[in-house]
Chain A
Amino acid sequence: MAKSGRKAKTGGSEGLRAISRFRLSDILMMLFVGLLCATCIFPFLHVAAKSVSGNSAVIAKRVFFVPIDFTLDAYRSIFADGSLVKSMGYSVMVTAIFTLFGMISCTCAAYPLSRKRLKGRGFFTLLLMIPMYFSAGIIPSYLLMKDLRLLDTMWVLIFPLIYAPSNMLIMKNFFLSAIPDSLEESAFLDGATNVQILFRIVLPLSKAILATLSLFYAVGRWNAYADNMYYIKSDALKMVQYRLYQMVASATEAQTTTLSEAAAVTSTPEVLQAASIMFITIPIICIYPFVQKYFVKGTMVGAVKG
């Protein structure tokens, strides 16, 4: 009891909360949440440890969360083979183009639709929101892409999804709730045009939401590969996640490596797969801590219903 009392003093200096004492329920909740966090970290630690461990230690099942017989052979093979590196570069490019175009089309929809005086606003909103609730499905979309001559091109991974109704809604709600009407009205009366207002007033005030939605676009594109399954046949145009999926899918049936002879693979398939997983996941894990402080704020403001 004495111990928990001390803890309350150090941690509970935040007004209201300080009134109540630190109890058993606090410890239980902290433990529970901590346990869930462990389930998010330890599997990746395990894979990371495996990816830099020696073959014999992995085969002997001695590797848990700490690497044994540290070696970077598997990563060396990945780089020597080059195909995964190449599709990584390709994925980065697709993701970058997608995010840029996505943000432009999202802003082009969200800003006009957030202007209450816009004539025909209800109609345009409806027009731009229906695709969120009703989609034609895979086959009609597939045939449409075929007619548009987009099958098996990079652009089929970009154009169909750059306008995302859900992101538009978040941005529109942010514009509606976070930017006071009076600010724009006065600028408008001073003779500023709509575009000037957007670039000089609205966008500078919306950095949090811009960062958030860019992240949503980037992560959405980076992670999704169902459209690769539908539309892409050439290996060179497949995104890296799809390559990983194919590796996993083939590895569950038979333990084969997908790397070429040139890679001079010495690692076991298991180690190699672990290294591939880490190779693909590390970019996300690296940028994640830097952007996460924005998206929590951004989503919270944007999520306000309106």
Chain B
Amino acid sequence: MKKSSEKGTAVKTTWRKALRRDWQLYLMLLLPIALVCVFNYAAYPGLRMAFMNYKPAKGYSGSEWVGFRTFQKIFRDADFLRALKSSIVFNLLDLAVGFPMPVVLALMLNELRFRRYKRVTQTILYLPHFLSWAVIGSVAYAMFKPSTGLINIFLMRIGVITQGIPFLTEKWHWAVTYLLIGVWQSMGWGTILYLSAITNISNDLYEAAMIDGANRWKRMLHITLPGIRSTIVMLLIMNMGRIMGSNLERLTVFGNTQVRDFQYQLAVYIYEKGLQSGKFSMATAVGLFQSLVGLALVLISDRIAKRLGEEGLL
């Protein structure tokens, strides 16, 4: 889609002419290109570690090539399989719970009657996005600790429970708390793109629908929702790429020994195996697997979306 429009507008010029006319622009481009080359592309050759038995002391040239043996090894590694399972399950749940929430919230914010109320609530709802996981985690502990957490204190005061609920220290409770905090953190900020798409919907459509007697619910369903459909699809495709990867900061801040089963996801696996235990080849192989699956999921879902007649992402 993008390609064709570029070809349409680009006038055929020779490089010599282009350089003379736009040399300042090319000069500007040098900076970001140098940055990606040094800090991104220069890291790609390091991926060959996944196919080597890499020993830090020997370096790349001294370590032996092992082909796909590292991959065979990780797929027999119980830790990896557990981490893979937890990653997939939790990220799918994250998607199922966390993805619709901003859509619903955006539809609601759009329907709010008082401008000022809408503005103030929006501002407040964006706030969690601007706080680090360290802050969110420590505040969450202040809320959810079994004996000193605010929620447990409150519930005990009113006599609903006699013993604190282990929101963050028992794995099934943890799973729910972890997911809800994730939704809470991302819901407000997630509405921005939808709200901007909603402002692009023509008012005439709403007026016509109202004259035809469509109530609010029908307008929401038949005008607003179709109006933001391409945004929903675009964000869904982008989110597909995250099914493998989890946020290390979010996982570590809520990590403790009691919930290790669920908290030990791929991001934690790579961090602990790679940087803490020095198993560079294995961690790189897992990282590569994670990146490739993520990329494949984005490309496949983009293809599917296009086949279904959507605009897609790429």
A residues at B contact (CB < 8 Å): 8, 11-12, 14, 16-17, 19-20, 22-23, 25-26, 29-30, 32-34, 36-37, 39-41, 43-44, 46-47, 50, 61, 64, 104-109, 111-113, 115-122, 124, 127-128, 130-131, 133-144, 148, 159-160, 162-163, 168, 193-195, 219, 222-226, 229-230, 241-242, 244-245, 247-249, 251-253, 270, 273-274, 276-277, 280-281, 284-285, 288-289, 292, 296, 299-301, 303-305
Question: Is B256's CB under 8 angstroms from A253's CB?
Answer: yes
The secondary structure that dominates the A interface is helix
B290 CB contacts on chain A under 8 angstroms: 137
Question: Is A40's CB under 8 angstroms from B10's CB?
Answer: no
Question: Is A137's CB under 8 angstroms from B291's CB?
Answer: yes
CA distance A127 to B120 in the complex (A): 41
CA distance A109 to B253 in the complex (A): 35
Picked from B9, B124, B199, B274, the residue with its CB within 8 Å of the CB of A300 is B199
A288 CB contacts on chain B under 8 angstroms: 127, 130
Question: Is A46's CB under 8 angstroms from B132's CB?
Answer: no
Smallest Cβ distance from A42 to chain B, in angstroms?
8
Question: Is A46's CB under 8 angstroms from B121's CB?
Answer: no
CA distance A95 to B40 in the complex (A): 21
Question: Is B132's CB under 8 angstroms from A128's CB?
Answer: no
Question: Is A39's CB under 8 angstroms from B117's CB?
Answer: no
Task: Assess whether B196 is interfacial by the CB under 8 Å rule.
Answer: yes
Picked from A8, A17, A120, A140, the residue with its CB within 8 Å of the CB of B47 is A140
A162 CB contacts on chain B under 8 angstroms: 35
Chain B residues numbered 297-314 whose CB sits less than 8 Å from any CB in chain A:
298, 311
Segment with Cβ contacts to A, from B84-92, B136-144, B171-179: B136-144
CA distance A22 to B113 in the complex (A): 8
Question: Is B22's CB under 8 angstroms from A115's CB?
Answer: yes
CA distance A51 to B148 in the complex (A): 14
CA distance A262 to B199 in the complex (A): 57
Given contacts A137-B291, A140-B46, contact A248 B108 (CB under 8 A): no
Question: Is B47's CB under 8 angstroms from A39's CB?
Answer: no
Task: Assess whether B280 is interfacial by the CB under 8 Å rule.
Answer: yes
B22 CB contacts on chain A under 8 angstroms: 112, 115, 117-119, 194
Question: Is B206's CB under 8 angstroms from A16's CB?
Answer: yes
B47 CB contacts on chain A under 8 angstroms: 136-137, 140
Question: Is A111's CB under 8 angstroms from B25's CB?
Answer: yes
